[in-house]
């Protein structure tokens, strides 16, 4: 099949662009920042779903006034944020999806896709997530056609005639090895995996602990997967016989090695939009939906933060709030929150009350099961005092006395004495 000639030259399109969307995650076009820097006009804004796992470069370009809109943080993005060139939007996935699909107005997009098949359609491959909800509202979509992009099933297809311009882009996808488990990670993952019943529908967030939970579910049976992102550990889980083969492995994104990208072209994998993977209707109708996510801190009220600790903004809420609420509303569902009891430099992952920046990713009234390397606290139906007692019991032993003292101070309203 002959690919149609571009309607405009890429440079001409970019020279008049002001609101630009770009593929990211494993589908990032790594030359895009340089291309935009060379051709985009002054004061444009670039938006993408930039994953801190693999997307390390900032698109902000102060000499030409180019800004970056990001829903996640990373080292370079943090620097550009400090310089005033990043609009950081710490929104949960459901909010991001509604904004992109109904409010955002992009005039241009740079999108990586597979070559067209016999049906004349390209595939968005390993990054589907949000794009199906709004790509039809973008007038000028530049397709970077990459033969290394797998053709995936689900919501991933786009007619090649929808592209305003096409670029041959033979480049490897960004890769990431599965996070390596340390002793603490393995212990927490083992506790969580033992709490997940056969036949459950499982979601796992990003990070070492959720990834290791997947690796430890191999002896389970009849599991289903509905999640936002998968890594290579899904392949071992599939090979172990733990998954119910009557249902596809549902995800929005894949970030892993070439082995994973080779595998996901199998129709066993269904790449669905966020409007499906994170939707309440999907989650509450999934058998025993179990959400597994890791956070930086949990406090004695049951509030959790995946966003900040030690006075710094570190991460974003992502899909965690959507999945937590979906699990709680599902008959037999559970929300498993992992936190390291021993944080960096001797700090405690269990604190009396969330500290600055006290970003509450999930409130106390959504607390269910909180797990550290010292055990699991099932707090959903506990009173305030019983909840605090349960959480103190899974803190690091050296922190428990201080936490108990801090809780007594909070109980009588003496917050100044809380460390």
- 135 and 248 both lie in a single domain: no
Same domain, yes or no: 193 and 164: no
Is residue 173 a part of any domain in this protein? no
In a domain, 151, yes or no: yes
Q: What is the mean pLDDT of residues 45-64?
A: 96
The answer to whether 328 touches 368, Cβ cutoff 8 Å, is yes
Q: Please give the pLDDT value at position 286.
A: 98
**Does the residue 192 lie in any domain?**
yes
Residue 219 belongs to a domain with what CATH number?
3.40.1080.20
Same domain, 229 and 130: no
Residues 225 and 122 in one domain: no
252 and 314 belong to one structural domain: yes
Q: How far is CA 90 from the centre of its chain?
A: 12
- pLDDT > 70 fraction of the chain, expressed in percent and rounded: 96
Would the pLDDT of 1 be above 60? no
419 inside domain: no
- Are 94 and 190 part of one and the same domain? no
Domain assignment present for 418 = no
- Whether residue 373 sits in one domain with residue 248: yes
Is the pLDDT score of 41 beyond 60?
A: yes
- Residues 359 and 272 placed together within one structural domain of the fold: yes
Say whether both 118 and 152 belong to one domain.
yes
Look at residue 3 and tell me whether its pLDDT is greater than 70.
Answer: no
Residue 174: count of CB within 10 angstroms of its CB: 19
Residue 96: CB atoms within 10 A of its CB come to 23
Beta bridge partners of 297: 305
Residue 168 forms beta bridges with which residues?
145
Q: What is the pLDDT of residues 177-195, one digit of tens each?
A: 988 889 999 999 999 999 9
State the average pLDDT for the chain: 94
**Domain boundary, last residue among 135, 168, 201:** 168
Secondary structure (3-state) at 182: coil
Quick one: CA dihedral 64, 67, 72, 78, positive or negative? Answer: positive
- 158 and 189 in a common domain: no
- Based on the domain organization, do 48 and 80 belong to the same domain? yes
Mean pLDDT of 13-23: 97
pLDDT digits (tens, 9 = 90+) for 383-407: 999 999 999 999 999 999 999 999 9
Owning domain of residue 125: 10-168
The confidence score (pLDDT) of residue 344 equals 83
Q: Which of 105, 139, 168 is the last residue of a domain?
A: 168
Residue 403 domain-assigned?
yes
Identify whether 204 is part of a domain. Answer: yes
Given this model, what pLDDT does residue 313 score?
76
CATH number at residue 71: 3.40.1080.10
Instruction: Give the pairing of strands 157-159 and 165-168.
Output: unpaired
pLDDT of residue 2: 42
Structural domain includes residue 320: yes
Give mean pLDDT, residues 127-151. Answer: 97
Both 265 and 395 in a single domain?
yes
Give the pLDDT confidence of 208-220 residue by residue, as tens digits. 999 999 999 999 9
**How many structural domains does the chain have?**
2
């Amino acid at each position: 099949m002959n690919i149609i000639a571009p309607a405009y030259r890429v440079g001409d399109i970019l020279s008049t662009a002001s609101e630009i969307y770009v593929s990211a995650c494993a589908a990032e076009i790594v030359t895009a920042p340089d291309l935009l820097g060379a051709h985009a006009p002054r004061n444009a804004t670039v938006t993408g779903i930039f994953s801190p796992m693999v997307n390390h470069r900032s698109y902000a370009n102060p000499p030409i006034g180019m800004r970056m809109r990001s829903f996640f943080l990373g080292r370079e993005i943090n620097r550009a944020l400090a310089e005033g060139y990043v609009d950081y939007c710490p929104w949960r996935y459901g909010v991001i999806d509604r904004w992109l699909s109904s409010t955002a107005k992009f005039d241009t997009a740079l999108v990586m896709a597979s070559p067209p098949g016999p049906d004349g359609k390209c595939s968005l491959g390993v990054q589907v997530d949000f794009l199906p909800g709004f790509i039809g509202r973008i007038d000028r979509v530049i397709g970077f056609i990459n033969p290394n992009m797998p053709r995936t099933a689900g919501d991933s297809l786009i007619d090649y005639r929808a592209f305003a311009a096409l670029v041959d882009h033979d480049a490897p996808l960004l890769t990431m090895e599965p996070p390596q488990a340390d002793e603490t990670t393995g212990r927490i993952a083992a506790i969580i995996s033992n709490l997940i019943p056969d036949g459950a529908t499982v979601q796992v967030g990003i990070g070492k602990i959720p990834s290791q939970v997947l690796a430890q579910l191999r002896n389970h049976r009849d599991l289903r997967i509905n999640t936002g992102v998968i890594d290579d550990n899904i392949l071992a889980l599939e090979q172990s016989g733990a998954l119910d083969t009557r249902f596809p492995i549902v995800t929005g994104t894949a970030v892993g090695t070439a082995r994973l990208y080779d595998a996901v072209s199998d129709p066993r994998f269904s790449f669905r939009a966020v409007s499906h993977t994170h939707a309440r209707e999907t989650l509450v109708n999934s058998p025993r939906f179990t959400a597994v996510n890791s956070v930086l801190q949990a406090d004695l009220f049951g509030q959790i933060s995946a966003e900040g600790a030690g006075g710094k903004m570190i991460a974003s809420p992502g899909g965690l709030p959507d999945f937590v609420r979906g699990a709680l509303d599902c008959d037999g569902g559970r929300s498993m929150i992992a936190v390291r009891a021993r944080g960096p430099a001797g700090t405690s992952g269990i604190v009396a009350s969330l500290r600055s920046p006290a970003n509450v990713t999930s409130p106390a009234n959504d607390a269910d099961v909180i797990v550290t390397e010292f055990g699991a606290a099932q707090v959903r139906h506990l009173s305030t005092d019983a909840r605090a007692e349960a959480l103190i019991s899974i803190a690091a032993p050296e922190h428990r006395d201080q936490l108990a003292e801090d809780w007594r101070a909070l109980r009588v309203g003496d917050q100044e004495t809380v460390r």
